[in-house]
A and B are shown apart, each in its own frame.
Chain A
Amino acid sequence: MPLRLPSALTPSGSVSPGAGPEGEATPTRAAWLNWVDRTGDFWIVGVLGLMVLVFGVLAPDLFTRASWLNTSQYAVEFLLLAIGQTFVIITGGIDLSDGAVLGFTGMVSGVVMQSMLASHENTLFTTIVGFAVALALGAFIGFVNGYLITRLKLPPFIVTLGTLTAIGAAPSLVNGGNEIVNLPPQIGTLGTATILGGWIYATVLIAAVACVIMGLALHRTRYGLRTFAIGSNNVGARRSGINVNRHLVMVYTVSGTLAGLAGMMVTANFDTATPVAGQNDELSAIAAVVIGGASLFGGRGTMLGTVVGTFIIALLVTGLVLVGVNGSWEQVATGIIVVAAVALDQVRLRLAER
Chain B
Amino acid sequence: MVADEPRFGDGGGPRDADGPGRQAGTDGGVAVDGEVPVIAVRGITKHFGSIQALRGVDLDVRRGEVVGLVGDNGAGKSTLVNILSGALQPNGGTILVDGKAVTFGSSLEARRLGIETVYQDLSLAPDLSVWANIFLGREETVKGPLRVFGWLDRRAMARSAEADLERTRIRIGSVSSLAGRLSGGQRQAIAVGRAVAWGSKVILMDEPTAALGVEQQERVGQLVRSVCENGVPVLFISHNLPQVHKICDRVVVLFQGRVVANLRPAESSVDEIVAWITGAAMGGARSGL
In Å, the complex CA distance between A33 and B126 comes to 14
* B152 x A225 contact (CB < 8 A): yes
Among B117, B119, B170, B183, max chain A CB count under 10 A is at B183
User: What are 21 inter-chain pairs, A to B, with CB distance below 8 A?
Assistant: A7-B125, A10-B121, A12-B120, A12-B207, A14-B184, A15-B184, A19-B211, A23-B171, A23-B182, A23-B216, A24-B173, A225-B128, A236-B124, A236-B125, A239-B85, A239-B117, A240-B137, A241-B107, A241-B137, A242-B136, A243-B108
* B180 x A9 contact (CB < 8 A): yes
Chain A residue numbers with a CB within 8 Å of B136 are: 225-226, 229, 236-237, 240, 242
A236 touching B123 in the complex, CB below 8 Å, given contacts A8-B180, A221-B152, A241-B107: yes
Chain A residue numbers with a CB within 8 Å of B211 are: 12, 15, 19
- Chain B 157-174 residues near chain A, CB threshold 8 A: 170-171, 173
Q: Mark B133-144, 1 if CB is under 8 A from A, else 0.
A: 000111101000
In Å, the complex CA distance between A15 and B210 comes to 9
- Chain B 187-223 residues near chain A, CB threshold 8 A: 187, 189, 207, 210-216
A161 on the B face (CB < 8 A)? no
* A228 x B125 contact (CB < 8 A): yes
B87 on the A face (CB < 8 A)? yes
* B127 x A228 contact (CB < 8 A): yes
- Chain A 1-16 residues near chain B, CB threshold 8 A: 7-12, 14-16
Size range of the chain A interface in the assembly = 35 or more
- Residue total for B at the interface (Cβ-Cβ under 8 A): 48
* A12 x B139 contact (CB < 8 A): no
B106 on the A face (CB < 8 A)? yes
* B120 x A241 contact (CB < 8 A): no
Chain A residue numbers with a CB within 8 Å of B111 are: 240-241
A19 touching B185 in the complex, CB below 8 Å, given contacts A8-B180, A239-B107: yes
In Å, the complex CA distance between A9 and B123 comes to 9
Q: Which residue of B lies closest to A25 (CB)?
A: B183
B122 on the A face (CB < 8 A)? yes
In Å, the complex CA distance between A233 and B210 comes to 21
A23 touching B128 in the complex, CB below 8 Å, given contacts A239-B85, A239-B107, A241-B138: no
* B151 x A19 contact (CB < 8 A): no
* A232 x B125 contact (CB < 8 A): yes
B48 on the A face (CB < 8 A)? no
Chain B residue numbers with a CB within 8 Å of A240 are: 107, 111, 123, 136-137
Chain A residue numbers with a CB within 8 Å of B119 are: 236, 239
- Chain A 202-254 residues near chain B, CB threshold 8 A: 217, 220-223, 225-226, 228-229, 231-233, 235-243
B179 on the A face (CB < 8 A)? yes
A9 touching B122 in the complex, CB below 8 Å, given contacts A222-B141, A232-B128, A238-B107: yes
A20 touching B106 in the complex, CB below 8 Å, given contacts A14-B184, A221-B150, A232-B127: no
* B141 x A235 contact (CB < 8 A): no
* Other-chain residue from A21, A225, A226 in contact with B215 (beta carbon distance below 8 A): A21
Q: Which residue of B lies closest to A7 (CB)?
A: B126
CB distance from B240 to the nearest CB of A (A): 14
In Å, the complex CA distance between A10 and B120 comes to 11
A275 on the B face (CB < 8 A)? no
In Å, the complex CA distance between A54 and B190 comes to 48
Chain A residue numbers with a CB within 8 Å of B125 are: 7, 9, 228-229, 232-233, 236-237, 299
* A33 x B181 contact (CB < 8 A): yes
In Å, the complex CA distance between A238 and B139 comes to 15
Chain A residue numbers with a CB within 8 Å of B138 are: 241
* B152 x A222 contact (CB < 8 A): yes
* B126 x A9 contact (CB < 8 A): yes
Q: Which residue of B lies closest to A235 (CB)?
A: B123
Q: Which residue of B lies closest to A90 (CB)?
A: B127
Chain A residue numbers with a CB within 8 Å of B170 are: 23
CB distance from A225 to the nearest CB of B (A): 6
Among A10, A20, A21, max chain B CB count under 10 A is at A21
* A352 x B128 contact (CB < 8 A): no
B186 on the A face (CB < 8 A)? yes
* Other-chain residue from B107, B117, B139, B214 in contact with A222 (beta carbon distance below 8 A): B139
Chain A residue numbers with a CB within 8 Å of B122 are: 9, 11
In Å, the complex CA distance between A12 and B191 comes to 13
B53 on the A face (CB < 8 A)? no
CB distance from A95 to the nearest CB of B (A): 20
Chain B residue numbers with a CB within 8 Å of A229 are: 125, 128, 132, 136
Sample of 11 more A-B contacts, CB < 8 Å, known A19-B213, A23-B216, A33-B181 = A8-B180, A23-B189, A25-B183, A217-B149, A229-B125, A233-B124, A233-B126, A236-B124, A239-B87, A241-B111, A242-B137
